[in-house]
Amino acid sequence: MVAAGLLFFALCSLTLGLPTARDELHVHERRSDVPNGFKYLGKADPDALLSLRIAVAPSNLAGLEAALYDVSTPGSKNYRKHLTKAEAQAFVAPKPDSTSAVKTWLSKNNVTATATSAAGDWITVRIPVAEANAMLGTQFGEYAHEETSTKMIRTLSYSVPASVKEHIDVIHPATSFIEPRTLSPAVRAFHSPRASAGSRNGIHLTAKNTTASATSASKKSSPTAAAAAVDTSCKTQITPECLQSIYNIPSAPASSGRSNLFVASFAGESATPSDLKAFLSEFRQDIKAASSNFIVQTVDGGTVNFAGGTTEASLDIQYTAGLATDVPTTFVSVGSNNTDGAAGFLDIINDLLAQDEGLENTNAGLFNASGRAFPDIAAQAQGFQVFVNGQVKPVAGTSAASPTIASVVALINDAIFKEGGRPVGFLNPFLYSAGVAGTLNDITQGSNPGCGTDGFPATDGWDPVRNHSVVLRSTLS
């Protein structure tokens, strides 16, 4: 009897000591190798703290997508009847069993959430590397971005138990290697903006020959009053006045009191009120002094250095305040995050972005499965005159077009508000709707060469270089 009892006890101990099938770890995300531009430095310090964000599976993402299109598609009975924050959160809020499963898993690993999003779909934890290694069945390492020497703690794969696998979308930034972004002017010149009366606005520019961008030529290229008014200097240097002339952007102040514009800043980019004031004094002397101020918000540890501005942030603030006249501008500094931009074909988010179905069918399988490409709308992006720490820099790049488009939309919203309407929201269905697509300028000459190729050529109609040009105010007023 004693022997039998000991045998039973031993079997129970053995059974309790083995993990169940639902506790076994399964690979959730994996990279085959270290991304280009990064190098592995070695194992991460086991005591280093990791801040990880767990995306809990939303309860009704399909419903959210349907609602998005319902309020964004011209002709829909709910067009521009946008969701409230609470309504949107209801779509992305996880199911109770998903929340319970993830919290139970964290509790078993003695991990406590440090923050949870309002909808409950993001849970933030802060744990030592050693604990993260054990919980996720991985080995976090220290990596460096070779160009900037920026260091980060990442892994090439991680695993979660079967009990939570279906309840977790992603754990960020475990396998995320995002290049630290820097914006380098495509043309470089530094000179006093008032140095010579012989040059426009006193700016001396030495242009660098840049061919890696499309040349703008509209198929609606017959002379117009607006085109005739464009100063010839706008061929090499862009100012707010140039953009107003090229795109018929009004200089009259916004007056609804309801339109707002937000500028997102990443990777420590900062703008200064003094640079904005100097910019407006030079290029928009008609704007009142109060408009040289902007509101600042910080998110996830973002900071703003008013003692010194950077190119990217200065570009965005100056060309929103300088184009969307008197629209209140908020500068949002986001910590520990960044993105990049370009043109080409989309693989990941194509299902969420409306585009002409005929275009997708034409290009399907050529560059990606769907034929979905970006950007959907484009504008001037070379020779932008920007004040950075009191000096004028000519700047070029995909970022330069963004504040122009944002300003046009902000002014459209202001006009809609003045008529008692609701603002535009998600623009893609609107851009590709029958009543709008034909009113946009079509870029027909040039290409985007790079990487040893001629790139995509600009042609009549849709092309992957620019898709659409920027809208003209006269066609939307």
- CA nearest to 395, candidates 215, 251, 210, 185: 185
Q: Annotated binding residue at 443?
A: yes
Burial class of residue 144 (count of CB atoms within 10 Å of its CB; 0-12, 13-18, 19+): middle
Rounded Cα distance between 337 and 251, Å, is 34
DSSP state letter for 391: E
Q: Judging by DSSP bridges, how do beta strands 141-145 and 38-43 pair with one another?
A: antiparallel
Contact criterion met (CB below 8 Å) for 203 and 385: yes
Contact at 8 Å (CB) between 436 and 376?
Answer: no
Distances (CA, A) of 366 to 278, 347, 359: 48, 12, 12
- Both tokens of 100, joined, read 């319970």
d(CA 400, CA 312): 9
Placement of tokens 């693989």 in the chain: 347
Instruction: Tell me the two tokens of residue 358.
Output: 């005929």
* Tokens found for residue 391: 């000096």
Q: Is 246 annotated as a binding residue?
A: no
Q: Would the annotation count 461 as a binding residue?
A: yes
DSSP 8-class letter at 423: P
Token code pair at residue 384: 């932008």
d(CA 352, CA 354): 6
Give the residue carrying structure tokens 């309002």: 118
| DSSP sequence for 48-82 | SEEEEEEEEPPS-HHHHHHHHHHHHSTT-TTTT-P
- Cβ atoms 439, 345 nearer than 8 A: no
Q: Was 442 annotated as part of a binding site?
A: yes
Q: Give the three-state DSSP class for 46.
A: coil
The answer to whether residues 37 and 145 touch, using CB atoms and an 8 Å cutoff, is yes
Say if residue 173 is preceded by a cis peptide, omega within 30 of 0.
Answer: yes
Q: For residue 428, how many other CB atoms are within 10 A of its CB?
A: 17
The full length of the chain comes to 477
d(CA 269, CA 185): 15
- Binding-site entries for Ca(2+): 442-443, 461, 463
- Binding-site entries: 442-443, 461, 463
